[in-house]
Structure 1
Amino acid sequence: MLQLNFGFGALEADFWRWMFVMTRIGAAMFAAPLFGAATVPPQVRVIATGAIALLICGWTPVVAPPALLSVGGLLSVGNEVVIGLAIGFALQLSFAAPTLAAEIIGGGMGMSIATTADPVSGAHSPAMGQYFAVVLTVIFLGTGAHLNWIALLVDSYATFPPGTTWLAPGRMDLITQFAGQMFITALLIALPVTLILLLVQVTTGIISRSAPSLNLFSLGLPAGVLAGLAAMIATAPMLPDVMVDIAATAVGHTAALIAQ
């Protein structure tokens, strides 16, 4: 059995136990949409992970493998990484619904070419997606959902004790169901605006057929953009309620994933 030993006795054993607990928490924060954002400095994530792991070491009887560098120890570490990534990915799926809805709305408005660099994911996303992401982030933090998610992350050590329980295939099926619900939520967000844009596009098509001398592109694109902005303004009062439901659903998915 391979075990690093620097001669500090019980203090060193507590240190390796602390590092082992940090594995699941660090993987969950890496996959989560807010904590794992590119705008969050790595030092902040490491400090937050270490602080939560220190509390877990004091609250729960987590036992680290006797030899972390052995085959069994590395398998236990890999299991911790998989569980942490699953917990963070369940939160990521809920946050992807508004971005997907923004893709649908932007395509209908003709604003798909108006993309910006997303500082959270590092990829290019539509301008509407930035708006939805900011609103969801503010509501998620304002309602305290991030604290509930951290509490569920702590409770996961009771459901999946380190070194004894693996992530069952049924839990993977739950993540697949969460992905399906993500598409449904995105469609519900984009449906009102998309219906209005469809009516505008049909109207501009009828006008272009009635008066072929009119330029369809010079008429349809501005009409689509104006109609889309008007629909966004009209549906703005309903957006906070939808975002609150998404935040609650995100925490609910994580709770369902770690439920016994």
Structure 2
Amino acid sequence: MQFTIEYLEYILLVFIRIASMMVTAPFFNSKNFPRLTKMGLSFFFSLVAANMLDFTSLSYQGVVGYATLVLQEGITGAIIGLASGFCLYILNFSGNMFDMEIGFSMAMEFDPATNVQSTITSGLFSQLFLALFVVSDMHYFVIDAIYDSYKLIPIGGANLKGDFLSVMATYITDYFVIGFRIILPIFSCILIVNVVLGILAKVAPQMNMFVIGMQLKVFIGLFLLFLLMGYLPNIVDFMFVEMQKLTKLFIEQMA
């Protein structure tokens, strides 16, 4: 077995792209996922990928040139991981809007996995999404995406000047459209409740509609959340399709 310095440099660049993806991709980027396990899996995946790829000699000028390749591969892996995790923010948006309608937005909690303040329903949607993400073997899609990226984006061949603006515009459009479609039934029911409370406030002004409305919205919201859980697998399947589309778009822009 012959082992050269050039081949070691090649494996290190493969490792950098995969490790960057592991830092930003959903499920793998969770703080519940041990860092040593991330590094071990990244090293193992890089060895597998290096044996699957056709080795080609790298061309660069000195230490600065190799550092540029390292930075380029790190950005490439990070973008692929972020593209696959953007759909998770759509569910966070839906959860925040849901809690705003029923009054749960006043109860913010700290999410140790993302280090941000989130609402109760937003955290619930995120955890259920990740659970179905693992159960449905979608984490294999993330691994396949990083392997398939080498077919379109060879080592040192990433085009970081692609039209990412149009891809982000597509994502922002889907962000609001899908997010509002998820919580549209809740909006409709809460609107009807507000209309009924407004009529009752005119008919019986001695009743405290503010107190009644807060309790009524909570009960109706929990009931609607119970009904929404039955459609959650279909919503998550739609999110998976959106995840695949966004990942493909970002890879094509860097190809």
TM-score, normalised to structure 2's length? Answer: 0.90
Q: Using a 3 Å threshold, how does the CA distance of structure 1 residues 186 and 64 change in structure 2: closer, same or farther? A: farther
Secondary structure at 1:167 match in 2:
coil
- Of 226, 234, 251 in structure 2, the residue corresponding to residue 241 of structure 1 is 234
* Alpha-carbon distance in 2 for matches of 1:167, 1:200: 50
| Among 143, 146, 152, the residue aligned to 2:145 | 152
Q: Does 1:132 find its partner at 2:163?
A: no
- Structure 2 CA distance, aligned partners of 1:119 and 1:102? 17
Judge conservation of contact 2:76–2:158 (CA < 8 Å) in 1. no
Q: Is the 8 A contact 2:18 2:146 kept in 1?
A: yes
Is 1:96 paired with 2:107? no
Q: CA-atom RMSD, angstroms?
A: 2.1
Residue in structure 2 matching 1:117, options 110, 113, 133: 110
The letter of the residue matching 1:96 is Y
Provide closer, same or farther for how the CA distance between residues 107 and 69 of structure 1 changes in structure 2, counting only shifts above 3 A.
Answer: farther
Q: SS in structure 2 opposite 1:237?
A: helix
1:222 aligns with 2:215: yes
Report the Cα offset of residue 107 of structure 1.
Answer: 0.2
Report the counterpart of residue 190 of structure 2 in structure 1.
197
Note if contact 1:18-1:54 (Cα within 8 Å) is conserved in structure 2: yes
Name the count of aligned residue pairs. 252
SS in 1 for 2:163: helix
SS in structure 2 opposite 1:156?
Answer: helix
1:26 aligns with 2:19: yes
Within 2, Cα distance between the matches of 1:176 and 1:84? 21
Q: Which moved more, 1:103-112 or 1:202-211?
A: 202-211
Matches of 1:179 and 1:86, distance apart in 2: 16
Give the conservation status (yes or no) of the 8 Å contact 2:6–2:58.
Answer: no
Please list every run of 5 or more consecutive structure 2 residues that lacks an aligned counterpart in the other structure: none
Residues 223, 39 of structure 1: CA spacing in aligned structure 2 closer, same or farther, 3 A cutoff?
same
SS at match of 1:258: helix
Going from structure 1 to structure 2, the CA distance change for 1:223 and 1:62 (only over 3 Å counts) comes to farther
Deviates more, 1:198-207 or 1:99-108: 198-207
CA distance in 1, matches of 2:160, 2:140: 23
Amino acid at match of 1:243: V
Q: After superposition, what is the alpha-carbon deviation per residue over 1:156-202, rounded to whole angstroms, capped at 9, x for unaligned?
A: 11211122332342245223312321221111111111211111122
Q: 1:45 to 1:192 in 2, by over 3 A?
A: same
Q: 1:68 to 1:54 in 2, by over 3 A?
A: farther
SS in 2 for 1:169: coil
Listed one character per residue, the Cα deviations across residues 101-152 of structure 1 (whole Å, up to 9, x for unaligned) are 0010100001101222213212111110121112211222122211122111
Structure 2 CA distance for aligned equivalents of residues 67 and 252 of structure 1: 33
Moved more, 14-23 or 63-72: 63-72
Shift of 1:252: 2.8
Fraction of identical pairs, as percent = 21
- Determine the C-alpha separation between the residues in 1 that align with 2:150 and 2:176: 30
Rounded to whole Å, the distance in 2 between the matches of 1:158 and 1:150 is 14
- State the Cα deviation string for residues 175-230 of structure 1 (Å, max 9, x = none): 33123212211111111112111111222222223222222321110011111111
Q: 1:233 and 1:64, CA in 2 relative to 1: closer, same or farther beyond 3 A?
A: farther
| Structure 1 stretch displaced more, 95-104 or 245-254 | 245-254
SS across alignment from 1:124? strand
Maintained 8 Å contact 1:79/1:166: no
CA 1:62–1:208 in 2, change beyond 3 Å: closer, same or farther? farther
Match of 1:161 in 2: 154
